[in-house]
Amino acid sequence: MKEVQSEKFVLQNVAFLGRTFKQLCDLFNIQEIKSFEGKKVLDCPGGPSGLNKYFKDHQIHCVSVDPLYNLDIEDASKIGKRDVDLCDTSLYADEICKRLVSFDFFKESHNARQVFIEDFELGKAEGRYVVGHLPKLSFKDKSFDIVLSANLLFLYAPKSVGGISADENTPLNYQWHLDSILELMRLAKQEVRIGGCAHFYSSFYENRLELHPWTKRIIDELHGRKIKTELVKTPEHAHRKVETYMLRIIL
């Protein structure tokens, strides 16, 4: 059968799709939850993931921020399911991607959302799920010890630079990335970890790991400001074979 060179997987909007705590701990290279004991953590974007609940279960104070935390529980559940199903169908319709996407990934995402939904109302009341959006958040300087951010920055850059945004004029342009990272740094005392810094098309279409070009630019920008960074290869659970990069910004 003739192989159809796909148009490449893209999304019109940022998906309200969350990962399990295990997937996110791997992505952020959190090997021992003990290393987070006594820390205040910011997770932005939080999405419908299992991370906040996991931290709570381990008595770690974590605030997750996402624009869609303004939804009520029914809509959050509905939109979350719709977005996972949309990504699932689109990726599997893509001849190249479907060979490399992990079969369990979307099932796990539905599980993660279930954990999130069960925790959502209590978490909102406890101030653990907060409405907000980058590049400007409402917290005071150095409100957190560690700031985590996964699967928004770099991943939703335009397709032409290795992200999955269909919109080449998305507001998530390079300046937005720089402003957002400086904002996350403003809020952290110790470090910022950004998970998922791979060039999407190198990993899914060429099956190799390449750093996102804007991650390289950001690192150069930060080094110019004498700020230390580290790149760590971490598991990418959506992909069966290739890992991703996690960028640590050490303050």
Residue 22 CB burial class (10 angstroms; 0-12, 13-18, ≥19): middle
Minimum distance from residue 4 beta carbon to ligand SAM (Å): 27
Which residue of 68, 76, 91, 185 would you call a contact of ligand SAM, by CB under 6 A? 68
Pick 4 or 237: Cβ nearer ligand SAM: 237
Q: How far apart are CA 173 and CA 30, in angstroms?
A: 29
Pick 151 or 242: Cβ nearer ligand SAM: 151
Contact predicate 237/23, CB 8 Å: yes
| Residue ranges in the chain assigned as alpha helix (H) | 21-27, 51-57, 73-93, 97-100, 105-125, 174-187, 200-205, 213-224
Pick 44 or 249: Cβ nearer ligand SAM: 44
150 binds ligand SAM (CB under 6 A): yes
How many residues of this chain interact with ligand SAM, rule: CB under 6 A? 18
Minimum distance from residue 49 beta carbon to ligand SAM (Å): 4
Q: How far apart are CA 144 and CA 62, in angstroms?
A: 9
Which range, of 100-108, 120-128, 148-156, 231-239, touches ligand SAM by CB under 6 A? 148-156
Q: Please list every residue from 152 through 211 that binds ligand SAM, using CB under 6 A.
A: 152
Which token pair is 78?
Answer: 């509905």
DSSP state at residue 33: G
Minimum distance from residue 184 beta carbon to ligand SAM (Å): 10
Minimum distance from residue 109 beta carbon to ligand SAM (Å): 8
Site track 9-48 with ligand SAM (rule: CB under 6 A), x = hit: -----xxxxxx------------------------xx-x-
Q: How far apart are CA 9 and CA 158, in angstroms?
A: 12
237 binds ligand SAM (CB under 6 A): no
Minimum distance from residue 180 beta carbon to ligand SAM (Å): 7
Which token pair is 33?
Answer: 């939850």
Contact predicate 144/184, CB 8 Å: no
Residue 56 CB burial class (10 angstroms; 0-12, 13-18, ≥19): middle
49 binds ligand SAM (CB under 6 A): yes
Minimum distance from residue 182 beta carbon to ligand SAM (Å): 14
H or E element in which residue 157 lies: none
- Residue of 65, 121, 89, 95 lying closest to 2 (CA atoms): 95
128 binds ligand SAM (CB under 6 A): no
Which residue of 22, 39, 133, 142 would you call a contact of ligand SAM, by CB under 6 A? 133
Minimum distance from residue 178 beta carbon to ligand SAM (Å): 14
Point out which residues bind ligand SAM (CB under 6 A): 14-19, 44-45, 47, 49, 66-68, 133-134, 150-152
